[in-house]
Structure 1
Amino acid sequence: MTLEEKVSILSGEDFWSVPAVARLGIGKLRVTDGPNGARGGGSLIGGVKSASFPVGIAIGATWNVALVEEIGAALADEVKSKGAHMLLAPTVNIHRSVTNGRNFECYSEDPFLSAELAVGYIKGLQGQGIGATIKHFVGNESEIERTTMSSEIDERSLREIYLIPFEWAVKKAGTWGVMSSYNRLNGTFTSEHNWLLTTVLRNEWGYDGIVMSDWFGSHSTAETINAGLDLEMPGPARDRGQKLIDAVNAGAVSAETLDKRVTAMLRLMERVGSLDDHRPHQEQANDRPEHRALIRRAGAEAAVLLKNNGALPLKPESRVAVIGPNAKRAQIMGGGSAQLNAHYRVSPWEGLVAQLGEDQLSYAVGCGNDRFEPLLRGTMTVEYFANEKLAGEPVHIGTQEDAQAFWIGHVADGKVDPLHFSARVRATYTPEKSGTHRVGIYSAGFAKVFVDGKLVADAWTSWTKGRTFFEEGCDEVVGTADLEAGRTYDVTIEFATKHFATLGLAAFACGIGLPFGDADIAEAVRTARNADVAVVFIGRNGEWDTEGSDLPGIELPGRQNELVAAVAQANPNTVVVLQTGGPVEMPWINSVRVVVQTWYPGQEAGNAIADVLTGSAEPGGRLPQTFPVRWSDNPAHSQDREVYPGLEGKVRYEEGIFVGYRHYDRLGMTPLYPFGFGLGYTTFSVSDLTVDDRGFEADGNVTATVTVTNTGARAGSTVVQLYVSDTESSSPRPAKELKAFAKVALEAGESRQVTLTLDARSFAFFRTEAKHWLVESGDFTLRIGQSSADLPLTATIKRSTILMLPV
C-alpha cells in the first residue's frame, strides 16, 4: 500500500463508512449504530425501518447471558440487512449516578454483571460475522459536558469497576472493536490516551482489534495515532488525511506505528468480510417473525416485579381502568444515537386490548410526562436554501411527517452544504380543544415558529446553548397561542445552521400542546373508581432518558405522583407500571398494590407488558441498579459540584470503588429496592450450600453448589447470586461484591442443583503501587441468595498465603 492508501483507511469516508482502496480491491467497511437495533445509514429520525430490541438496562435486568447472546445473534441479522459490517455496541458504562441520561443504554451499576452480559452480546454478534464495538472506553458516566469533561478516576477504581466490562470483552469475548469515549480521563482525551489504549488495552490485555473514536471525538493527529487510536470517525478526515501524511513525513508518526494501525484495520476488514465485499450498498427493512417473538420474550423477562399484594396477574374477568401518559403511547426506546425507525410500536393499551378485549377496558390519560411540547405531526413541506438567510429560491423541496429534523452528513439530496443552509417548514395544526396552547421549539441551529404568520416562539434572536441534541442544541423556547377547536392554523418553522461546538449536525423539534389540568386527574379518578383494577402507566420517555442530557433528579416528571396518589385513593387495587431508564422516587409506594418496572422493552413493548400483567409470561427481571429512596442517597450525589455534575471541566469520582450497592452497604443505608431484587408469580428457596475450596490455596479456584427449589404453584425463574466478602483486608473493600450468578427456570415443585464458579480474581483487589491484583491470606465469606439484601446461605473459606495476579 502507498502511504496515501494506508492513511485513507484510518479515517472515515463519510458518516458510516471507511473508504475502499480500489487499486488493491479493498472493499468499503460500513458501521451502523446500535445497541438496541441497527439503524443503518439514515438519520436518527426516519430512515429505513429496523427492529427495536429492549434497551441496555432492560437487558441488564434479565440477568440472562444466554438470552443476551440470542439478542446479539439477532442483531447481526439486522446489521446485515443494513449492508453494514460492524455494530456500534454494546454500551457498558457503569451506572455511577442514577441521573445519567444514558443509563438506559447501559447494563448495570455492577461491573461483573455488565461484563458477563457484554460477553454474551459480543459472542452472539461476532458469532455471525458482525463486529462488535464496545463503548465508551472509558469514564463516560455522565452526559454533562461529556465532550470536554475530565473524569478524575483513581487507578484502583478504574481497574475494579470501570474497566472490567472492557477487559472481559477483550479477554473472554474477543471483541473486534472498541470505541473511545468523548471525555478526558485524568486530563487527557481518551482518544489520545497512551496508557489506556496501548499500555492497558493492547500490552496488558493483548487486544488485537481496532480502536475507533466516537463521532467527532478525536482532536489531534500524531497524538491519537501514537496513543493507539486506529480509526477517526466520522469522515471526511479532519485530523488525518493530508495532516497524517505530513506527520509521517515529518517523523512525528513513525512508519512502524502507522503500519500497526493499518494492520489492525485490515485485520478487522478480514474478520467482518468487508475486505472483499464489493456489493452495492443496500438497506432493507426485514420485519422477521422470529425477531418479533424474541423481542416480546425478552421484554417480559426484563420486567421487574417490585411489589405485588395479590393484584397481579390480572383476573380474566376484571374490569380494568387503563390510566396514565404511557398507556396509549408506546415508549420503546431512549433518545440519542440509539434511536431508530422501528417497524412498529405496540402500546400497553393495544397489548391489553389484544389479551382482554376492549370491552373490559376504560381509559383516561390523567396527566402528561413530556419534557417538551407534544411533537407537531402531519405531512409538511420543507424548502431548502443554499445559504443561511432563507434567501432566493429554494434549491430543493421535500416533505416530512412531523416537525422534527436531524440533518447530518447529507442534506436535501446533497444540494446544500450540511453545515451551511437554511430551511422553511410549512405545516398545519387543527386543535381538538379550544384554549391557550403552548408552542415549543428547540434546535441545534437558529429557529423560529410562526402561527398564522405571527411569531410565537423564537429560538433565533437570543439562542443559548442548552441540553438538547447532544448539547449542540438550545433548551426549549415556549410561547403561547389562543387556538379554537376545529379550526386549521398555518404553522411555519424557519431554521438556519449555526457554528457547532463538537458535533457537526443541524436539528430542530417543534411541538404544540394544550396543558393538562385538574379536570384530567379528576377524570382519571372517576375512571379508576368504576373499575375493579386501576393500572397506571407512568414514567419517562426518550426525551428524558437520552444521550446528551442528564436528568435533573429522579422525581417523576409533571403531575404523575399526584395522579398515582389520587387513583390509589379512588381504587384500592391500583397497579403502577413504570417505564423509565432507571429508578424513580415513589412517595406513593405504600398506597398501591403493585409496582412493576418495565423499562423501554422495544417494539413489542405493549405485548410484553400485557403478557406480564395477565400472567401469560413471568416477570423475569431482577434489578441491575439499586433503587434509592431518594436521589440524595445515591453515591454520586454531593454538595461538592466537582463530584457531580462536574466543575470547571472536571468530575471527580470521589466515591471510588463504592458504587451502587457497595455504597449503601458501606453506609448501612436501606434502599427502596436493593440490587438484584425482583419478585415473580411463584416463590423459590435456595438451600444445601456446599463449597469445594480444594484448589483455593493453589490457584484461587472455588466452586459453590446450592439446591434451588420452586416452592410455588406455577413455573417461574429466579437468579441465584453469589457475593464475596473479604473478612479482613489491608485495603478498604466493599462489604460484599457480586462474583457469580445463574438464571434458573423451574417448574412448580421442581428442584435443581446449581454450581457457581469463582476464580482467583473473584477474591482479589488491585494494588495500585505494585501494579498487580492481590488475594490476601485470611478468611473470605461466600454469601448466596436471591438479591444483594437476601443472602441466607453463607460459608467461610481460608487462605494461608497471598496470591499475586498479573494485570
Structure 2
Amino acid sequence: MAVDNLLAKMTLEEQVALLSGADFWTTVPVPRLKIPKIKVTDGPNGARGAGSLVGGVKSACFPCAISIGSSFDPALARAIGKALAEEAKSKSARVLLAPTVNIHRSGLNGRNFECYSEDPHLTSEMAVGYIEGVQGEGIAATIKHFVGNESEIERFTMSSDIGERALRELYLPPFEAAVKRAGARAIMSSYNRLNGTFTSEHQWLLTQVLRVEWGFDGIVMSDWFGSHSTVASVAAGLDLEMPGPTRDRGEKLVAAVKNGEIDAARIAESAHRILDLIRWTGAFTDVEMRAEVAEDRPEHRALIRRAGAEGTVLLKNNGILPLNKNDTGTIAVLGPNAAEARIMGGGSAQINAHYSVAPLEGIRKALAGSNAIFHVKGVANNRLVKLYRGPVHIEYFNSTDLSGAAVHAEDIDLSERFWMDPISKTFNINAFSARVVFTYTPEADGVHVFGLVSAGRSRLKVGSQQVIENWDNWKRGANYFTAGNDEVRKGVTLEAGVPVQIVAEFRSPIAGDGGLHLNAIRIGVELPLGEAEFEEALKKAQTCDVAIVFAGREGEWDTEGNDLPDLRLPGRQDEFIARVAAVNPKTIVVLQTGGPVEMPWIDNVAAVLQSWYPGQEAGNAIADVLFGFAEPGGRLPQTFPLTLEDNSAITGDPAVYPGKDGHVEYREGVFVGYRHHDTRKIKTLFPFGHGLSYTTFSWGRPKISAEAIGKDGLKVTLNITNTGKRAGADVVQLYVRPLAPKVERPDKELRAFRKIRLAAGEAKQIDLCITLRDLCRFDEEARCFIADAGEYEAVIAASAEDIRHTCRFRLDEDWKLSVGG
C-alpha cells in the first residue's frame, strides 16, 4: 500500500481520527479507505493483550527487565524479544509496549524492576537486542518512557529537572541507541514534565532531539492518559494520543486547524507516520484481528527457565552452593516467598501467566521422592491483605447505585477485578455499579483481617455485618496507579470451618475523585501470622541440615504508581533471617526483589542469591541454580548500597528526592550508581557488575591494539580460561577512565562488556572495542560531545570494584561530535 497515495485521499477529519486511539488498545480504522485498526499490548515481560491487568487470556510470563539486564547478554534479550513478538501475535497485537529503558537513579523507584540498569551502556545494549528480537518478527517495539521517569511519586505532574549534560550522558543514550541502531518503530512519552514542560508536548525533546538530531521516523505515542493538550502536543511531535476515545483531539483538533492554530501539514505528517506503522506491521495485507488465544509453547517455557538462571546473581557463597542433590541432608524451606510464586512486578507489567512455579515446588521437583524437605512460612511480606482465590460471582448494573435489573453477570476465580473496557456495547463504563459475592471458609479460628481497595467507591459486608465503608468516605491513595484508595482494613472474628458470605458493592468513580478514571476493586482476607509460626520456623531451621530462606518483596511493593518507602525488607524479614542464621550456620538466603535491599544480616549467612522476578518458571530456575543444574549467570546491573543514604539521589533534601513543589532536581548530575560510589569513594554492599560463579576463571594480561586512539578506535584483547571443574560463564567489563580530566567526570564508565561461556579447562580470546565516542563528555556550552586530548585507561574488571588489569592509551588532540552525529 502506497502511504502517500492513501494519505492524499484522506479528509482532514480522517487524518485527525488516526491521531487518537479508538479504545484502550486499538487505533481508529478508516473503513472508507480500507485502513485497518491495529492493536497494541503491554508489556515488557509478557504480551497481555486487551484483557484486564488481572485475569484475561493467559500469556507466557518472562523475567522482568532487571533480571534480563543482570544477564549482561544482549543475545538473550534478543531471544526474549523474539518470543514476546510471538506472544504478541497470539493476542493479535502488532505493537508491543516495551522495552522500558529508564535509568536506575535510586533503588526506590516502583518500576525499578521494569528497567535494565543504572548504566546507559548496559541498558542500550540490552534494549537494542530486545528490539531487534521483537521487530525481526514484524512486531513494532515501543521504547519507553521518554524521558526522565525515574520515580513514581506524583508521576503525572512532577517535573524532572535534569541538566543537559546528564540527559546526554545518562538518560538519553538508550533511546538514541534504540533509534539509530535498532530502528525502533515507536516511542512512548513519559507522564512527567521535563524541566517544566510535559514530555508529551516537549518540542525540543520530540522534534529537535528525536527527529532532527537522531533521524527518528517512527511514531511517538503518549503514555495512557499522558497527553494534556490539543495543539501543543501535536505541534511538538506527539503523533498518537492514547488511549481512546479522544479527549483532546478529534473535533477539537479539526477546529484548531480550521482556526489557523496549527497547520494542516503538521496533521498530515503525523497521519503519515501512523499509516506507515500500519504498513510496516503488514496490517494492510493481513487485516483480520483474530481472537486472542493462550499459546503455552514448550520453547517459551524452556527459554524462560534458562533466562531465569542467567539473570540470577550469586552475591555471596561460603562454599555451600551448589547443593548436592544426592547429599543435601534435611532442608528447611522457609520464608514468605517459598510457597508463593513471585514471578513479576505490579502495575501495567502484570499478565495472567499460564502457570507459576513456586520455589518450594521447584525444590521438590529437583529432589523428587525426597522426604527431607520441610516448609514453614514463618513471616509475611505482603503489602496488602491477601486475595481470596476461589469462585467469585459478579453482577453488573447500568446504574451507579445497584438499582434496576442486573444487565450482566460473570464468574471469576479471584477477588480482584480491573475493568478497562465496557463489558457490552450498551454498558457505560463511566457510570455503572457491581455486586461482588463469594463464600469464605476459614481454616482456623481467630480474628481475620479484611482489606478493601477500589478505584471507584465501595463497601464490604461479612455475613450481615457491614465491615468496611469506602463509599462516602473514599479518599484517593497509593493503589491502582494512584486512582485507588489506600487499603481500608477491618478485623472480624471467624470460626474454623464455618462459611461466611462476603458481599462487596462497587460504583464507578464520581467527579472530583481525581487521578486516572479507572474502575477496579480488590477484596483481601487473611488470618495474620502470629508468633507461633515464627518460632516454629526457627525450630525447623535449627533441626535441619540446611535452611533456605526465601525473602524479599512481591508485586504489591515493586509496582507502577508507588515508590518504595526504604530499602529494607518488608515486615519482620530482616529479624527472621538473622535469627535463622543464628541457629543454622548453613543458611542460604534467596532474595526476590525489583532492586537493591539493605542486608544487616549479610555477615552471618552462608550464601545469598538474588533472583529478582524471573517469570513463570521461577521455582524451577531458582532450583536449577541452587542445585547446580545451571550456573548463576547474573551480574548486578545496579549498585547495592550499604544503606539508602549512600545513594546519590538521597541527600535529605526533598527537592532532590522525592521532589518538592512539583519539581525533582537531579542535582547529582552524572554521578549515579557506581559513578557516584567510585568517584566519591563510598563503600558498597555489592558493587555494580558483581556476581560469583560455581567455577573459576583466569584472565590473561590484555593487549591494546595501539598506544594512541584514532578515528577507528582501539581494540583490547585478552584470553579467558575456565580453570574450574565445571562449565560456567564470566562477564568481562571494560571501563574507560580519563587520567587528567578537564572537568569533573566519573572515575570510570562502562564502555564495553562480553559474556563468555567456557567448558571446564576451555580458553578463548575475546576482543573489546573502544571508540572515540566512548571517551566523550557532553559540553553544555559548546552543545557537543568532546573527547579531551590526554591520557586514558582501559580498565578491565569483573565489577566496578574488582579491577583485574589496566591498559593506558592516549588521544593526541581534542575530538568533537555534534549532537546529530
CA distance in 1, matches of 2:733, 2:306: 23
2:75 corresponds to: 66
1:618 aligns with 2:631: yes
Report if aligned partners of 1:31, 1:88 keep a CA contact under 8 Å in 2. yes
Aligned counterpart, 2:6? none
Please state whether the residue corresponding to 2:299 is helix, strand or coil: helix
Question: Which residue identity is paired with 1:734?
Answer: P
8 Å contact kept, 2:578–2:601:
yes
Counterparts of 1:659 and 1:415 in 2: how far apart (Å)?
52
Question: What's 1:450 paired with?
Answer: 461
Whole-Å separation in 2 of the counterparts to 1:693 and 1:506: 63
Q: For 1:465, what is the secondary structure of its paired residue?
A: coil
Q: CA RMSD in A?
A: 1.1
| Aligned equivalent of 1:45, options 51, 54, 59 | 54
Contact 2:708–2:810 (8 Å) recurs in 1: no
What residue in structure 2 maps to residue 602 of structure 1? 615
Instruction: Work out the CA distance in 2 between the residues paired with 1:504 and 1:136.
Output: 21
Match of residue 582, structure 2, among 569, 576, 580 = 569
- State the match for 2:640 in structure 1: 627
Structure 1: tracts of 5 or more residues without a match: none
Instruction: Please state whether the residue corresponding to 2:391 is helix, strand or coil.
Output: strand
Q: What letter is aligned with 1:733?
A: R
Contact 1:82 1:283 in 2 (8 A): yes
Q: What's the counterpart of residue 751 of structure 1? A: 763
- Superposed CA offset, 1:24-78 (max 9, x none): 1222111111110100011101111000000000000000011110111111100
In structure 1, what residue type is equivalent to 2:760? A
Equivalent position of 2:678 in the other structure: 665
Q: Is the 8 A contact 2:476 2:514 kept in 1?
A: no
CA 1:502–1:463 in structure 2 vs 1: closer, same or farther (change >3 Å)? Answer: closer
Equivalence map 1:102-113=2 (5 Å): 102-113=111-122
| Alignment correspondent of 2:167 | 158
Match of 1:560 in 2: 573
Partner of 1:305: 314
Q: Give every structure 1 segment of 4 or more consecutive aligned residues whose post-TM-superposition deviation is greater than 4 Å.
A: none
Alignment map for 1:525-564 (pairs within 5 Å)? 525-564=538-577
In structure 2, C-alpha distance between the alignment counterparts of 1:374 and 1:769, rounded to whole Å: 55
- Structure 2: gaps of 5 or more residues: 1-9
Match of 1:337, SS? helix
Letter in 2 for 1:628: P
User: Which residue number corresponds to residue 373 of structure 1?
Assistant: 385
The equivalent of 1:804 in structure 2 is 816
What CA distance in whole angstroms lies between the structure 1 residues aligned with 2:398 and 2:334? 48
Q: Percent identity?
A: 55
Deviates more, 1:98-107 or 1:793-802: 793-802
Aligned to 2:126, the other structure's residue is in SS state helix
Q: Is 1:729 equivalent to 2:741 in the alignment?
A: yes
Q: 1:206 aligned to 2:218? A: no
After superposition, the C-alpha distances for 1:219-274 in whole angstroms (9 at most, x for unaligned) are 11111111000111111111111111111111212122111111111111111112
Q: Which residue of 2 aligns with 1:782?
A: 794
| 2:501 counterpart SS class | strand
Q: Which amino acid aligns with 2:260?
A: G
Are the counterparts in 2 of residues 453 and 492 from structure 1 also a CA contact under 8 Å? Answer: no
Are the equivalent residues in 2 in contact too, given 1:300–1:619 (CA < 8 A)?
A: yes
| 1:259 aligned onto 2:268 | yes
What CA distance in whole angstroms lies between the structure 2 residues aligned with 1:397 and 1:174?
46
1:514-529 equivalences under 5 Å are 514-529=527-542
Which region of structure 1 is more displaced relative to structure 2, 416-425 or 335-344?
416-425
- Matched positions, count: 805
- For 2:470 and 2:164, the matched residues in 1 are separated by 44
**Displacement, 1:423?**
1.1
Match of 2:152 among 128, 138, 143: 143
Alpha-carbon distance in structure 2 between the residues aligned to 1:306 and 1:645: 29
User: Which of residues 342, 346, 354 is equivalent to 2:365?
Assistant: 354
2:22 is aligned with what amino acid? Answer: E
Aligned to 1:480: 491
User: Once the 2 structures are TM-superposed, how far is the Cα of residue 548 of structure 1 from its aligned partner?
Assistant: 0.5
CA contact (8 A) 2:81 2:131 kept: yes
2:778 to 745, 766, 769: 766
Paired with 1:134 and 1:584, the residues of 2 have a C-alpha distance of 27
CA distance change for structure 1 residues 5 and 754 in 2, over 3 Å: closer, same or farther?
A: same
Which whole-Å deviations, capped at 9, do the CAs of 1:165-217 have from their partners, x for residues lacking one?
00000011010000000000011000000000000000000000100000010
Q: What corresponds to 1:389 in structure 2?
A: 401
SS at 1:369 equivalent = coil
Q: Distance in 2 between matches of 1:270 and 1:72?
A: 21
**8 A contact 2:449–2:490 mirrored in 1:** yes
The alignment partner of 1:402 has SS state of coil
Q: Is the 8 Å Cα contact of residues 266 and 275 (structure 1) preserved in structure 2?
A: no
Question: Residue 482 of structure 2: which of 450, 460, 471 is its match?
Answer: 471
Q: TM-score, normalised by structure 2?
A: 0.97
Q: Report the Cα offset of residue 695 of structure 1.
A: 6.8
* Counterpart for residue 345 of structure 2: 334
Q: Does 318-327 or 616-625 show the bigger shift? A: 318-327
Of 487, 495, 500, 2:506 maps to: 495
- Which residue number corresponds to residue 3 of structure 2? none
**Superposed displacement of residue 803, structure 1:** 0.4
| Letter paired with 2:103 | I
Counting only pairs closer than 5 Å after superposition, residues 75-94 of structure 1 correspond to structure 2 as 75-94=84-103
Task: Report the counterpart of residue 128 of structure 1 in structure 2.
Answer: 137
Deviates further, 90-99 or 21-30: 21-30
- 1:475-522 C-alpha deviation (Å, 9 max, x unpaired): 111111011111111111111122453422111211111111221111
- 1:433 paired residue number: 444
The amino acid that maps onto 1:299 is: G
- More deviation, 351-360/232-241: 351-360
| Amino acid in the other structure paired with 1:449 | L
Could you tell me whether the CA contact under 8 Å between 1:27 and 1:276 is conserved in 2? no
| TM-superposed deviation, 1:779 | 0.7
Determine helix, strand or coil for the equivalent of 2:701. strand
Tell me which amino acid in the other structure corresponds to 2:793. Answer: T
Task: Indicate how the Cα distance of structure 1 residues 694 and 129 shifts in structure 2: closer, same or farther if over 3 A, else same.
Answer: farther
Per-residue Cα deviation, 1:347-387 (whole angstroms, up to 9, x for no partner): 11111111112412111000111001111222121121212
